[in-house]
Amino acid sequence: MKRLVLLSLLLIILIAALIIPFNKQVTIKINASYFNCYQQLFTPGNWKKWQPDINKDSSAYKENLSSNGFRIDISGKHFLVKKQDSYNLLVTRVTDNNKLNYSFTIIPDSKGLTTTVAVTFKVNGLACLMKIFKDDDLNNTGITSFKNYMEDVRLYYGFLIKREQTPEKMVAVKRSTFLKSDLYRQSNMMQAKLNDFVSQNHLKVVYPLQLQYVSHKGDSLQILMGLPVNKKVAIINNSIEYMNMPRGKILAGYFKGIYKDKEKLYKAMQMYMNDNYIHPMIFPFERFENNKLPTSDTTLVEMQVMIPYM
């Protein structure tokens, strides 16, 4: 009799353990600052960039703000988001007849370069047993997609931006000042003179053409244009000079599109430098593939923006 009672108690305890929900917490380290993570999680419009449900079906996207959060609606789903404080969000994801409640807690590191996001949601023992090999609830929070988005430079900043090492270079340089309105005609004339100098002195161009905007004063513009070459020769024409570029660290941003849209890359690189505490040493310079300069604002170019930094 005692054995039967004991077995019954054990069975009741086992059933209770399987069906009574408890909090499960998973911590994810994000290689991004607290501020950037906060902006993406606490701003409803940014959920379209990383939340997979919304990202896949943003055509019916609607958002409604409230005093302590927001609601996002898409086809057949919606998210209710409540801001508890500057570190915690409570989220309810509703799809068809299914509801998932979870929370995000964002924790900055001491240096400000990484952030830990703690995801908490309710599960029970039976659910854990059924999801040994697949954790659907965690996937449905979108935290994996959020991590991928925050850590993928091309996704987050919109462009490929890389830290590189540049070798020491000897650059044949031409400097000129002219009206901004005459930029494309003058720059192509400068390139022609550099090409003539290289040809006449039997030099070899070892890296693509580069251009640097030095100063803007009123309607005037001063630029430096250079061709990295294999050696130094005596200069007879004073319009050409040499510039030695030492070996060092460089931030490179890659762009392909119409020339006037390069400003988007400049802004993205400035954001990247701010986020990573990078301090530029000199003005940026532009490097053009196949030495092809633009002839207008709408010329299709393939180029890199190079920023030497400390």
- Complete DSSP assignment for 217-264: ETTEEEEEEEEEESS-----STTEEEEEE-SEEEEEEEEEEEGGGHHH
Grouping H, G, I as helix, E, B as strand and the rest as coil, residue 55 is helix
CATH of domain 163-308: 3.20.80.10
The whole-number pLDDT of residue 3 equals 65
Structural domain boundaries in the chain: 21-151, 163-308
What's domain 21-151's superfamily in CATH? START domain (3.30.530.20)
Q: Tell me the backbone φ, ψ of residue 134, rounded to 5 degrees.
A: -150, 120
State the number of CA atoms in the 13 A half-sphere of 133 facing the CB.
0
The whole-number pLDDT of residue 133 equals 42
Whether the predicted model's global pTM rises above the 0.85 cut: no
Going by C-alpha positions, the residue among 256, 260, 201, 197 that lies closest to residue 225 is: 197
Residue found by looking up tokens 């380290």 in the block? 29
Q: Comparing 21-151 with 163-308, is the CATH topology the same?
A: no
Distance CA 248, CA 165 (A): 6
Q: What parts of the chain have a pLDDT lower than 70?
A: 1-22, 58, 123-136, 236-237
- Torsion (CA) 75, 77, 79, 80 in degrees, nearest 10: 110
Grouping H, G, I as helix, E, B as strand and the rest as coil, residue 122 is strand
